[in-house]
Amino acid sequence: MPEREADRSVSQTVRAQLALRDLILSGGLRPGERISELQAVETTGVSRTPVRMALVRLEEEGLLEAIPSGGFMVKAFSERDILDSIELRGTLEGLAARFAAERGVSARDLEPLKECLNEIDGLVRQDPISVEAFSSYVALNARFHPLLTELSRSPPLIRQIDRASALPFASPSGFVMAQSALPEAHQILLIAQDHHRVVIDAIENREGARAEAIMREHARLAARNLRLALRNRTHLDLLPALALIKSAAAD
Amino acid sequence: MPEREADRSVSQTVRAQLALRDLILSGGLRPGERISELQAVETTGVSRTPVRMALVRLEEEGLLEAIPSGGFMVKAFSERDILDSIELRGTLEGLAARFAAERGVSARDLEPLKECLNEIDGLVRQDPISVEAFSSYVALNARFHPLLTELSRSPPLIRQIDRASALPFASPSGFVMAQSALPEAHQILLIAQDHHRVVIDAIENREGARAEAIMREHARLAARNLRLALRNRTHLDLLPALALIKSAAAD
DNA sequence: CGCGCAAGTAATGTATACAGAAGGTACTCA
DNA sequence: TGAGTACCTTCTGTATACATTACTTGCGCG
Residue A209 counted as domain residue: yes
- Cα atoms in the Cβ-side hemisphere of radius 13 Å centred on B113: 24
B95-139 per-position pLDDT tens digit: 999 999 999 999 999 999 999 999 999 998 887 788 888 889 999
CA B79 and chain centroid, separation: 16
Residue B6 counted as domain residue: no
Residue A83 counted as domain residue: yes
Residue B2 counted as domain residue: no
A96 reaches B (C-beta below 8 A): no
Residue B1 counted as domain residue: no
What mean pLDDT value characterizes chain B? 90
Inter-chain residue contact B164 with A159, CB threshold 8 Å: no
A155 reaches B (C-beta below 8 A): yes
A50 strand D contact, CB < 7 Å: yes
Pair B229, B235: CB distance under 8 Å: yes
CATH of the domain at B117: 1.20.120.530
Q: Are residues B152 and B118 in the same domain?
A: yes
Q: Are residues B22 and B128 in the same domain?
A: no
Residue A247 counted as domain residue: no
Residue A5: which pLDDT band, with cuts at 50, 70 and 90? Answer: very low
The per-residue pLDDT for B247 is 65
Pair A63, A28: CB distance under 8 Å: no
- For A34, list phi and psi in degrees, rounded to 5: -75, 140
Higher-pLDDT residue of B28, A159: A159
Residue B2: which pLDDT band, with cuts at 50, 70 and 90? Answer: very low
Q: Are residues B198 and B97 in the same domain?
A: yes
Pair A177, A58: CB distance under 8 Å: no
Q: Does residue A200 surpass a pLDDT of 70?
A: yes
Q: Are residues A50 and A174 in the same domain?
A: no
Q: Are residues B32 and B93 in the same domain?
A: no
A144-170 per-position pLDDT tens digit: 999 999 999 999 999 999 999 999 999
- Cα atoms in the Cβ-side hemisphere of radius 13 Å centred on B186: 9
Residues of B in contact with A154 (CB under 8 A): 80-81, 84
Strands B72-74, B34-35: pairing is antiparallel
Q: Are residues A68 and A89 in the same domain?
A: no
Residue B95 counted as domain residue: yes
Strands B64-66, B72-74: pairing is antiparallel
Cα angle A163, B199, A213 (rounded to 5 degrees) comes to: 50
CATH of the domain at A35: 1.10.10.10
Nearest to A88 by CA among A157, A161, A149, A195: A161
Span CA (B46) to C1' (C14), Å: 9
Q: Are residues A134 and A57 in the same domain?
A: no
Inter-chain residue contact A157 with B95, CB threshold 8 Å: no
Q: What separation, in Å, do the N-terminal and C-terminal C-alpha atoms of chain B show?
A: 44
Q: Which of A31, A54, A74 is the last residue of a domain?
A: A74
C-alpha distance from residue B242 to each of B225, B228, B231 (Å): 13, 14, 13
The per-residue pLDDT for A211 is 98
Handedness of CA A19, A24, A28, A31 (dihedral sign): positive
- Cα atoms in the Cβ-side hemisphere of radius 13 Å centred on A1: 6
Q: Are residues B34 and B141 in the same domain?
A: no
Strand C nucleotides where any atom sits below 7 Å of a protein CB: 10-17, 21-23
CA dist B219 and A100 (Å) reads 20
Span CA (B4) to C1' (D27), Å: 40
Task: Mutate one of B37, B48, B51, B56 to test the A interface: name it (highest A CB count within 10 A).
Answer: B56
Q: Does residue A129 surpass a pLDDT of 50?
A: yes
Q: Are residues B123 and B228 in the same domain?
A: yes
Nearest to A132 by CA among A175, A168, A177: A177
Task: Mutate one of A11, A37, A55, A92 to test the B interface: name it (highest B CB count within 10 A).
Answer: A92
Residues of A in contact with B69 (CB under 8 A): none
A54 reaches B (C-beta below 8 A): no
B160 reaches A (C-beta below 8 A): yes
Residues of B in contact with A49 (CB under 8 A): 49
Question: Looking at the 3D structure of chain B, how many domains does it have?
Answer: 2
Q: Which nucleotide lies nearest residue B69, CA to C1'?
A: C22
Span CA (A36) to C1' (C12), Å: 9
Q: Which of B24, B44, B74 is the last residue of a domain?
A: B74
Span CA (B34) to C1' (C27), Å: 29
> Cα-Cα-Cα-Cα dihedral of B229, B231, B234, B238, to 10°?
30
Residues of B in contact with A53 (CB under 8 A): 52, 56
Pair A153, A99: CB distance under 8 Å: yes
Q: Are residues A179 and A233 in the same domain?
A: yes
Q: Are residues B116 and B97 in the same domain?
A: yes
A39-89 per-position pLDDT tens digit: 999 999 999 999 999 999 999 999 999 999 989 999 999 999 999 999 999
Span CA (A33) to C1' (C3), Å: 28
Q: Which of A31, A55, A74 is the last residue of a domain?
A: A74
Q: Are residues A85 and A200 in the same domain?
A: yes
Q: Does residue A4 surpass a pLDDT of 50?
A: no
C-alpha distance from residue B226 to each of B71, B177, B242 (Å): 32, 10, 10
Percent above pLDDT 70 for chain B: 93
Q: The domain containing residue A63 runs over which residues? A: 12-74
Residue A135 counted as domain residue: yes
Inter-chain residue contact B85 with A156, CB threshold 8 Å: yes
